[in-house]
Amino acid sequence: MEKIYAPWRMEFIRGEKPAGCIFCRESQRSDDLVLFEGNTAFVMANRYPYISGHLMIIPFRHISQLEDLLSEEKLEIFNLQEMAIRVLKKAMSPDGFNIGINLGKAAGAGIDDHIHVHIVPRWSGDANFMSVVGEVRVIPEDIHKTCEILLPYFEKYRPEV
């Protein structure tokens, strides 16, 4: 069995969790990790990164659901992602990026009550990202069946052009 060591994570796992939100200015936010503040969102370095350069884009408002973001927040979050990628490309020359949002504890969200977007730079051959070690994925439903279920919803909610 292959082993992956991430000793910096133990500080977070064992450490006392602060009261309040670690992303909110008025609560427990670590301003030393904030790299840029926009009008509705900000860029912050992840204290417990998967790899060097792991950033997060976070709205100022304390919300947990994607559908609760205002239009201006969505636009700025997307624009900040672009900015962060440009910065990381220039400063660290990664070969690629993982960008994602974990919605809920079951999806892997460590902080599930304040939505945030992860931007993780990747290099060919890096081994520091917490991935599936066994190289196995469980897909509980046939992909065609999933498409059959989802397609009507995509048709219903298609944006007007």
The enclosing domain of 105 has a CATH number of 3.30.428.10
d(CA 25, CA 58): 11
pTM equals 0.71
Tally of structural domains, the chain: 1
Burial environment of residue 57 by CB neighbours within 10 A (0 to 12, 13 to 18, 19 or more) = buried
d(CA 59, CA 45): 14
In which domain, by residue range, is 55 found?
Answer: 8-134
Asked if the structure places residue 147 within a domain, the reply is no
Asked if the structure places residue 97 within a domain, the reply is yes
Asked if the structure places residue 157 within a domain, the reply is no
What phi-psi label fits residue 108: left (phi over 0), alpha (psi between -120 and 50 degrees) or beta? Answer: left
116 is catalytic: yes
Q: pLDDT: is 2 or 136 the higher one? A: 2
Give the angle 65-69-73 at the CA atoms, nearest 5°: 140
Q: What SS3 class is residue 97?
A: strand
The strand pair at 34-37 and 96-100 is best described as unpaired
Q: What pLDDT is stored for residue 131 in this prediction? A: 45
In the set 54, 114, 116, 118, the catalytic residue is 116
Q: Across all residues in the chain, what is the average pLDDT?
A: 77
Is the per-residue pLDDT at 123 higher than 90? no
Asked if the structure places residue 42 within a domain, the reply is yes
